[in-house]
Structure 1
Amino acid sequence: MYKVLIVDDERTVREGLKHLIEWEQYGFQVVGLAKDADEAYEKFYDLSPSLVISDIRMYGMNGLDLIKRLREKDKNFQCIILSGYADFDYAKRAIQNNVAGYLLKPIYEEELIEYLEKVKKELSKQEAVLQFAESEESRKKEQLILSLFERKASVSKQEMITYQLNWERYQVLLMKIENSIEYKINFRHLKNELKYLIDEHSALFISEPYIGLLLNASTYRMKEINKLFHDLKTTLEPYTEMVTVSLGESVSNLEDVYQSYRDAFQLIQRKFFFPKGQLLIDSLETECKGNSTPIDVSEIIDQLYFALDIGIQDSMKETVSDLFEWAIEDRSERTMKKNIVYVLSTVFNKLQKAKEDKEEYFISMLEKVLEIYQQPSYEELTKMVKQLLEDVLNELEYTDSDHQLKKLLLLIENKYNENLKLEQLAKLFNYNSAYLGKLFKSYTGEYFNTYLDKVRIKNAKKLLLKGQKVYRVAEIVGYNNVDYFHSKFKKYEGVSPSVYKRNMLQEP
């Protein structure tokens, strides 16, 4: 993996670029973010990135001056310039200064990926020049294994014998060391520490930040693999919190070993969904499947908003369950976090507008929502989301009355302009919708929809007498279709909104 440092004085650009794509899928790892050139200069020497992506215009030193200064110490790293439209010509001239290219804001995934592929080719050429002090046979063996993982090589029977790889079955045990750059881990040194684990039934390889073992699956059964996992954890004890270990499926042909590597690699990508600190195997993945039937996210948002607005904890918990089932979508950590951030941000924004006295509180909560991106596991994410919503419930003040129907009437009076549906409110109050309808009719003497219409018409009349136009009144009280509003108004008032407005305003 090639290390990337992102430099921009706008936090939204830095964070947005970091989460724009699955960097590892293209052979890169974002190891640092910097808000200006000075911070970038310091992080460059701590992190040693292979690629720097920097904005042109920043406070203090600009992006090109930063690149020029860094090149005085290291001429091998690649760089991409970010620019606004006004800096377009300036950015193009930057290419003459050995800049790999420029991205015009706003940044699109396709353009970024295209540049990453270009940069990766150049970095690969540079790596080819570097030679490590290893035995030729060991180096070739490792290179052969890595080539097989990328399906760039075939292997002869003689090579299998020469490199002691003529086994009946093959399996990959893969380790990833997180934050390896921050802790300045020397992978070649670490490889030497792990060599005691190698025998004629295993082969060690490195592809930073990964270290792995190709195993003779006929010899290494689960009992032996579990012991190997324990030995690895002992050797890597200083980095225990940073190490993730996975096991791919076994294959019967050496040239198919890429399948086992791919399995192990994908398990690490999904480590978010596994119990912490265990060997990642398919069977251990947390059960968090999406709902088999489509879930309307707008309903989740409304349900969660109403539950928090009124203070119904049971409904909130049930809606959180629906939220996670919807958010899982393509079983991607990045997508799941993005979906949950979207829902919570929308709900907190609505609550901020509805409860003006709590504006500062919800601004701080919107900041906390961004911390979702830093949660390392599914378990910790669910815990954080539940805690955020519990905090909101504890912060808001609710009426002393616990009568459900009174709460429902209060909700209608305050939220009549929202998209209120009996089925949705029944779920909110934990009732069967038909039963709630009967209770509502018995309590108010009106059917739910009739009661809601009358509340809307009552408020519409007030707005009309204030001089509001009919189509605006329809929108404000919750009718998206002005003709439908006309028919409802005439049904309950006997005249159209326009006639009502004219008659009332003409009265002495």
Structure 2
Amino acid sequence: MLKVMFVDDEPIIREGLCSIINWEDYGYQVVGIAKNGKEGLERILEYHPDLVFVDIQMPGLNGIDMVKKVKEWKYNTKFVVLSGYSNFTYAQQSIRLGIESYLLKPVDEDELIPLLQSIKSNLLKEKRLSTQLHQYEQLKEQQEWIEILHGKRNALYDQNSMSNYFVCSITCEQPIDWENIQLYINKYFHANVTPLWMEQFVICVCTFTEIEDVYCTVEEIKKYFYTLHKISCNIQLIDELVSMDMLSNVFQQLLELQKYSFTFSYNTIITPKVCKGRKDTKILTDTFATQLVSAMEFNNIDQISVYMNDIQMYYENNLYKEERLKADWLDFVKIVLYKLQHNHPSIPLPSNDQLVDMIYKAVKLEAMLAESNSMMIKFTKEINGFMSNAENSIEQITKYINQYYFKDLSLKVIAELFNYNSSYLGKKFKAYTGDYFHVYLDKVRLSHAKKLLKQPHIKVYQVSEKVGYSNIDYFYRKFKKYVGISPKEFQKQTTLK
């Protein structure tokens, strides 16, 4: 709908123009009226009309002078002069100012309608051309920015060579309408953000001077992204100001940061500092797999969660790229399942294809580990039946003690875990192992204590805590009872050999 306005000092003329036709039927909306040239200028500044009907003769600022002033502003407003017979020649001369036409008062409907249709046609053509020109200028500027990112110098580079920028990229694992994202950024952040569509992601060159402004803008873009697509995006950010001649290096850094998007959650803005990482000792060992299987066998859901958190931290610290990380995890899961099947041949396990599908379809590390965690909990429930009725339940209890000897264990705790009456379990345990429960637990703990004491620099109180004795005096008494000498003497004898 085109916007139209009337400027005339005669109320009857203003009112007549408003009602002479149904303006909306011809594609126009009346947005304002003014009673003189000065007020007309104010209304034009306020409403930016496409078309203005203006009286040529008004007190103060006349119509011609008002039009001249608006032309100086470089507005694309069209004007139709309203005149009486006495200044008809003057009105004809005014067309030299670029006025579209003139009409004699009172305005005739049959003369007005064809004029409106002609002006509308011309306005729409001009708007299309203006839009196309604007789009061309935008595309040209974007192409120049992209050239700069690829290390080329051009006119834009020379114009902005002294400027500094923050630069980030927006990526997503799924195909989306990147052009729509670009339009949104242009609409709401055009003063500070230049979005560059790179086919599979968007680069944002930001003119903010404070990193906090960049973070706020990025969060708004992420919200819009999720609202539009119902999926989340990854943000990679160079969180320090860089000069124009550094942009090509920064672009390469962003491409490198994108390779780690799988490892970090959507809530993490990936920066060089985040990806600095540190090399952790490999934890996905055969021993770790055994511990994970034991946690499943003994229904220790909390311990499985702890292990999964450890694994996530390990991968985040070591910064494996997606393909290597998934291959590494697939190998480890196979080891876990092999051990599980060895202990429980009747448990149905997923095929290799099912494992590959589960791991390789994941778009995030946390999602992959969550899926794996669910699988392990499923196995935990399937094998957990042995705790109350399996013939080998005492054997499993001894395995549990050997695995978790350092915990606060007692016959009562074990009985509750394995669904036994504690008195009955005590008798059955003694019959199976030859030792009372507390004696068996002491032997296991002290066996591990002896191994630890062979390390010359470890303290006795540290060994006591590690094997499950919170009271060091009690540890001393137990150790001397079963070994014959104190822990300190044992450490001296073994470390001197």
Q: Normalization by structure 1: what TM-score?
A: 0.45
Rg: which structure is higher? 2
Q: Normalization by structure 2: what TM-score?
A: 0.46
